[in-house]
């Protein structure tokens, strides 16, 4: 009887050991810069700054189930109060950027995510642009799209990357804001890349739409069209983004060209133009970013840039400066 009990316990232990154990990887990414403000009246203001700090844990629970948690840190933005704007705390604060469960390969090339997840368009752009440490995408910078939000999405990649798509239902306010009403946002992106099967060439053609249902008002519609091209010695990205709500409309375009020699340097040339209200004169602005970047290792990069933003209403008083920007990842 004792021998049978021991054998039973041993078999149970072996069975437990045979169960797959989650594989967890942890990584980090830091964006930082030194900048000199060259704007008239800035009086040589300059600063060292930490732009973002990410800590990410990814878990492969089973061959089909996975999870991700990303903690992010930056300065707290000014909080609007009845008396104006008030910054409650100037220290760096920690917050959740991603937190989701993923189920993949239930159908060829497809996956489902639920939680605080990537939105369909901006993450795709950032991956192609590869210089988020230098600048956000135009749509993100102007508040038309958030990089992440709470919701559920389904997407897939087919025919060796020829077609890549994502459709999701989100709160609509973005990961940094609370849900304010019963409305939800339906977002969809489809990308067709005729050169996806080529080893060193990309030609993604992308369409995106976001239909945000507002409980007591007109829906907000955000749409974008983009074309990219990437080879080892030159990258290109051009996009147009529009936004409408009732009689109000906004729009803008962004063009980036990044030629260079990958082992040594890459030239950064980007131009953004954005009009927050097409019915109002002299409220548009344009931004120019020019510089050079160098990749020391994967996720370790430096860029020297000149950045200039000019308001249409004040063309002789641009805001501009020179920057040394860095990303460091592990």
Q: Are 310 and 271 in contact (CB under 8 A)?
A: no
| 9 pLDDT more than 50 | no
**Percentage of the chain with pLDDT > 70?**
92
- Residue-wise pLDDT tens digits, 52-104: 999 999 999 999 999 999 999 988 777 766 666 676 677 888 999 999 999 99
pLDDT value, residue 2: 36
Residue 189 lies in a domain: yes
Residue 63 lies in a domain: yes
| 232 pLDDT more than 60 | yes
> Facing residues of 226 across strands?
206, 239
Place of tokens 């991700």: 68
Q: Tell me how many domains the chain contains.
A: 1
User: CATH no. for residue 211?
Assistant: 2.40.160.10
Q: Are 241 and 221 in contact (CB under 8 A)?
A: no
Per-residue pLDDT band for 17 (boundaries 50, 70, 90) equals low
pLDDT value, residue 15: 46
Residue 16 lies in a domain: no
Q: Are 312 and 283 in contact (CB under 8 A)?
A: yes
SS3 275: strand
| 243 pLDDT more than 60 | yes
In 3D space, the residue among 319, 329, 330 whose CA is nearest the CA of residue 31 turns out to be 329
- Residue-wise pLDDT tens digits, 28-60: 999 999 999 999 999 999 999 999 999 999 999
DSSP H or E stretch at residue 27: strand 23-37
Residue 178 lies in a domain: yes
- Residue-wise pLDDT tens digits, 118-162: 999 999 999 999 999 999 999 999 989 999 999 999 999 999 999
In 3D space, the residue among 248, 239, 289, 242 whose CA is nearest the CA of residue 266 turns out to be 289
Residue 300 lies in a domain: yes
Give the structural domain span for 265: 24-329
Residue 100 lies in a domain: yes
Residue 241 lies in a domain: yes
Residue 173 lies in a domain: yes
Q: What is the mean pLDDT of the chain?
A: 91
In 3D space, the residue among 164, 143, 166, 139 whose CA is nearest the CA of residue 155 turns out to be 166
């Amino acid at each position: 009887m004792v021998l049978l009990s021991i054998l039973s316990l041993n078999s149970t232990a072996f069975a437990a050991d045979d169960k797959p154990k989650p594989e967890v990887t942890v990584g980090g990414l830091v964006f930082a810069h030194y900048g000199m403000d060259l704007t008239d009246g800035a009086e040589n203001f300059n600063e060292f700054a930490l732009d973002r700090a990410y800590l990410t844990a990814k878990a492969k629970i089973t061959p089909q189930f996975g999870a991700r948690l990303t903690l992010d840190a930056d300065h707290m933005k000014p909080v609007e109060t009845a008396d104006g704007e008030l910054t409650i705390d100037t220290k760096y604060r920690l917050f959740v950027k991603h937190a989701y469960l993923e189920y993949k390969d239930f159908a060829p090339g497809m996956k489902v995510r639920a939680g605080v997840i990537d939105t369909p368009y901006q993450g795709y752009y950032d991956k192609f642009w590869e210089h988020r440490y230098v600048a956000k995408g135009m749509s993100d910078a102007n508040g038309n799209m958030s990089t992440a939000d709470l919701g559920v999405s389904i997407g897939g990649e087919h025919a060796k990357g020829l077609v890549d798509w994502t459709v999701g239902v989100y709160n609509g306010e973005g990961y940094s804001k609370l849900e304010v009403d019963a409305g939800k946002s339906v977002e969809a992106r489809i990308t067709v890349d005729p050169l996806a099967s080529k080893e060193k060439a990309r030609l993604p053609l992308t369409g995106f739409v976001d239909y945000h249902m507002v409980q007591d008002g007109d829906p907000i519609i955000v749409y974008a069209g983009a074309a990219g091209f990437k080879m080892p010695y030159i990258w290109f990205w051009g996009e147009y983004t529009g936004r409408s709500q009732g009689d109000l409309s906004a729009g803008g375009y962004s063009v980036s060209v990044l030629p260079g020699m990958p082992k040594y340097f890459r030239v950064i040339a980007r131009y953004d133009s954005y009009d927050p209200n097409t019915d109002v004169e002299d409220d548009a602005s344009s931004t120019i970013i020019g510089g050079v970047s160098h990749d020391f290792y994967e996720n370790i990069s430096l860029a020297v840039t000149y950045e200039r933003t000019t308001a249409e209403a004040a063309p002789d008083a641009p805001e501009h400066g020179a920057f040394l920007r860095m990303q460091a990842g592990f």
